Chains A and B, each alone.
Chain A
Amino acid sequence: MTTTGIISQLLQLVIALVLAPLLVGWVNQCRAWLQNKRAPSLLLPYRTIRKLFHKDAVVADNASPIFRLTPYVVFAAMALAAAIVPSLATDLPFGHAADAIALVGLFALARVFIALAAMDLGTAFGSLGARREMFIGFLAEPALLMVLFTASLISGATLLPTIVETLAHRDIAIYPSLAFAGVAFTMVSLAENARIPVDNPATHLELTMIHEAMILEYSARHLALIEWASALKLFNYSCIGLALFLPFGIAGAGAGWLAILAATPALIGKLAVGGFALALIETLSAKLRIFRAPEFLGTAFLLAVLAMLVNLLLGS
C-alpha cells in the first residue's frame, strides 16, 4: 500500500461523494433542454439534500429498526462501491477488498435492505414498489454479472483494477464482444437506476413508479441519505461503464501525482458526455409497461451472453 494509493483512494471517494448529486443535476438539466423545458439549476440536488438534512424526521409508530437503519446501510454500500470502482486511478487499497462479483453483491445488499424497509410499514405502495424492485433486480443482476464476466474473460481477472489495467493497455482493435457487452451494460444501468424505459425518475405518486414507491415513507435526513445514495448509484454505474468500455485517462498502477490529478478532468468530461447520452436515451424512448421489462432485460442478458460466447469463440 503506497502513499499515492491512499491519496488517490481518498480523492476518488471525495470526488464521488461530491460529484454524484451534480451528475444527477446535469442529467436533469440536459433532459429539460432536450424536451424544450426550462432547466432546473445544476445545483438543485445539493439544495434538496441540504434542505432535507435541516428538517425534522418523521418515522411511523410501527416502524422497526430496519426502517431506521436502511438509509445508512444503503448509503454505506454505495459509498463503499464508489471506493472500489476505479474511476480515477487503479492503484486503490480498497480495490482489492472486493472483486466485480462482490461488487454486484454489494448492490444487491442495498437493494435487499431498501426493499425490506419498504415492506416494513405495511403500506400498499411500499410493498408494491418492493415487489417490482425485486422483480427488476432479479432480471438485471444476471445480465450485469455476464457483462462483468465478459470483461473478466478478456483480461483474465475479476478484480476491477486489474481488468481496467488490462483493458486500458491493449492494442486498439475492434472488439465485437465489448460492443455487445457495452450495450447490455447500458440497458442494465437504465433498469437499475430507475431510468426511463423501466421506471420514470421524474414522477412522484404515479401508479407505475418503482423506486419512488419504496421511499415514500421516508423524510428528512433519511430521505436525504437515500437520495444521495441513489445519486451515488448512478455515479457508480457510470464509472463502471466508463472503466470497462472507455478506460482511457484513468491513472495506471505506477502513475504519479500528476496523472491522478489529470485523471479528474478526464473523468468529469467523460461523465458529462455520458450524462448527456443518458438524457438523450431518456428523451427518445418511452416508458415500457412493467410486464415488458422482462423482455427488455432479457435482451440485455442475451446480449451479454452473446458477448461472452463471441469472445470465447472468436477471441475478440
Chain B
Amino acid sequence: MATAPLWAQLINLLAAILLLLAFAMLAQRRVLTLIDLFAAQGFALACSTAIVAYATRQPHLFWSAGLTLVLKVAALPWLLYRLIRQLDVRWDVEGLINIPTTMLIGIVLVVFAFNLAYPISQLANTITRATLGIAMASVMLSFLMMITRRKAVPQVIGFLSMENGLFFAATSATYGMPMVVELGIALDVLVAMLILGVFFFQIREQFDSLDLKHLEKLRDAQEAE
C-alpha cells in the first residue's frame, strides 16, 4: 500500500472529523453544545483550508482560512451565544424524529452523497478530490438537521453548518472560490445571522415560543379556532 504524503493524510483526517462533527450535531440534544460543535466544525474547516493552501501554494486560500477562523470559530458562535443569553433559551433541542432513527437516515444520506460524488470527483484533478463526497455528505446532514429540528435556533445552526459543507466542497473540488465571492458569502452569512437574530425576537414576540410549527398556520385559521 503506497503511503500518501502527510498533508494528504491530514486533509483526509480533517475531512473524517468534519463528517463526525456533522453527525455529532445531528445527535446533539443541547443547544449550547450545538454551538460549540459548530465552532469546532469551523475550526476543522479552517485547518483543512490552511493545509490545502500550504500544499498547493495558493496564498488566497490562507486568507479564506483566516476568514473562516475569524467568522465561524469566533464571531458566529459569539453571536449565537449572545442570542441564546438574550432570548434566555436553554431548552433541550426537540427533534421531530428520535435520535437513533435520525442517525440511520444520516447514514443512508452519507452513502447517497458518496455515490453521487464519486463520478464527479473522478473528473476533478485537485489533490483533495476524494473529500468531495464528505463535503456533500455534510451538506446533506445539515439539511437533515434543519428538517428534523423544530425550534428556530437549531435550524439556523443547521443552515450555518450547511454553509461550512459548501465551503469545504468548494475547496476540495476547485481549491476554493475567488476571493470576491468568498468575501461576499462571508458577509452574507454574517448579515443573515443578524437578520435571523431579529427574526427570533419577532417570532417570540408573536407566539411566546421559538417553535416554528406556529408559523405553519394562517392567521385567519388561528383566529377561527
Determine whether the beta carbon of B12 is less than 8 Å from that of A316.
yes
CB atoms of B17 and A294 under 8 A apart = no
Is A110's CB within 8 Å of the partner chain B? no
- Are the C-beta atoms of A302 and B107 separated by less than 8 Å? yes
Flag whether B23 is at the interface (Cβ < 8 A).
Answer: yes
Q: Is the CB of B19 within 8 A of A314?
A: no
B-facing residues in A149-192 (Cβ within 8 Å)? 170-174, 176-177, 179-180
Roughly how many angstroms separate A295 CA and B104 CA in the complex, as a whole number?
Answer: 11
Q: Assess whether B110 is in contact with A306, with CB atoms less than 8 Å apart.
A: yes
Q: Is A302 a contact of B19 with CB atoms below 8 Å?
A: no
CA distance A172 to B114 in the complex (A): 26
> Digit string of A30-45 for contact with B (CB within 8 Å is 1, else 0)?
0000000000000000
Q: A170-B1, A171-B3, A173-B4 are in contact. Are A309 and B114 (CB under 8 A)?
A: yes
B4, A313: Cβ atoms under 8 Å? no
Residues of A within 8 A of B23 (CB): 302, 306
Q: Is B178 an interface residue (CB 8 A)?
A: no
Q: How long is the Cα–Cα vector from A295 to B17 in the complex, in angstroms?
A: 20
A88 to B102, CA, bound (A): 42
B169 within 8 A of A: no
Cross-chain contact A176 with B16 (CB below 8 angstroms):
yes
Tell whether A313 pairs with B114 under 8 Å between CB atoms, given A176-B17, A177-B16, A306-B20.
yes
A298 within 8 A of B: yes
Q: Does B12 lie within 8 Å of A314, measured CB to CB?
A: yes
In the complex, chain B residues 15-66 whose Cβ is within 8 Å of any chain A Cβ: 15-17, 19-20, 23, 27
Check A314/B130 contact, CB under 8 A, given A173-B4, A180-B20.
yes
Cα–Cα distance between A85 and B130 once the two chains are bound (Å): 34
Number of B interface residues at 8 Å Cβ cutoff, please give it.
Answer: 28
- Contact between chains at B10 and A314 (CB < 8 Å): no
* A contact residues around B67 at 8 Å (CB): none
Partner among A177, A294, A303 whose Cβ is within 8 Å of the Cβ of B100: A294
Complex CA gap A310/B22 in Å reads 14
Nearest-neighbour CB distance to chain A for B31, whole angstroms, equals 18
Which residues of the other chain, A, contact B9 by a CB distance below 8 angstroms? 173-174, 316
Interface of chain A, main secondary structure: helix
Cβ-defined partner of A305 (8 Å) among B99, B107, B131: B107
Instruction: Verify B10–A302 contact, CB threshold 8 A.
Output: no
How distant is the Cα of A170 from the Cα of B114 in the complex, in angstroms? 26
Complex Cα gap A310–B107 (Å): 12
User: Roughly how many angstroms separate A171 CA and B20 CA in the complex, as a whole number?
Assistant: 25
Q: Are B12 and A174 in contact (CB under 8 A)?
A: yes
Instruction: Say how far B122's CB is from chain A's closest CB, in angstroms.
Output: 12
Contact of A314 among B3, B16, B99, B100 (CB under 8 A): B16
Shortest Cβ distance from residue A178 to the other chain B in the assembled complex, whole angstroms: 11
**Closest chain B residue to A172, Cβ basis:** B3
Q: Which residues of A contact B4 (CB under 8 A)?
A: 173, 316
Contact A309–B110 (Cβ < 8 Å): yes
Contact among A174, A179, A313 for B10, CB-based, below 8 A:
A174
Check: A193 CB closer than 8 A to any chain B CB. Answer: no
Q: Which residue of A lies closest to B114 (CB)?
A: A313
Q: Is A312 interfacial (CB-CB < 8 Å)?
A: yes
A299 at the interface (CB under 8 A from B): yes
Is A302 within 8 A of B1, CB to CB? no
**Contact of A315 with B20 at beta-carbon distance under 8 Å, contacts A173-B9, A174-B10, A174-B13 already known:** no
Closest chain-A Cβ to B89's Cβ sits at a distance in Å of 24
Which residues on A sit within 8 Å (CB–CB) of B107? 302, 305-306
In whole angstroms, what is the CA distance A298 to B104 when docked? 9
Q: Is the CB of A171 within 8 A of B1?
A: yes
Q: Which residues on A sit within 8 Å (CB–CB) of B3?
A: 171-173
Contacts of B16 in A (CB 8 A): 176-177, 179-180, 306, 310, 314
**Chain A contacts to B: CB under 8 angstroms:** 170-174, 176-177, 179-180, 294-295, 298-299, 302-303, 305-306, 309-310, 312-316
28 A-B pairs in the complex with CB atoms less than 8 angstroms apart? A172-B3, A173-B3, A173-B4, A173-B9, A174-B9, A174-B10, A176-B12, A176-B13, A176-B16, A180-B16, A180-B20, A294-B100, A295-B99, A298-B99, A298-B104, A299-B27, A302-B103, A305-B107, A306-B19, A306-B20, A306-B110, A310-B12, A312-B114, A313-B118, A313-B134, A314-B15, A314-B134, A315-B130
Given contacts A176-B12, A295-B100, 17 further A-B contacts (CB under 8 A): A173-B3, A173-B4, A174-B12, A180-B16, A299-B27, A299-B103, A302-B107, A306-B19, A306-B23, A309-B111, A310-B15, A312-B114, A313-B118, A313-B133, A314-B12, A314-B134, A316-B9
The 3 closest A-B pairs by CB, nearest first: A176-B16, A171-B3, A298-B100
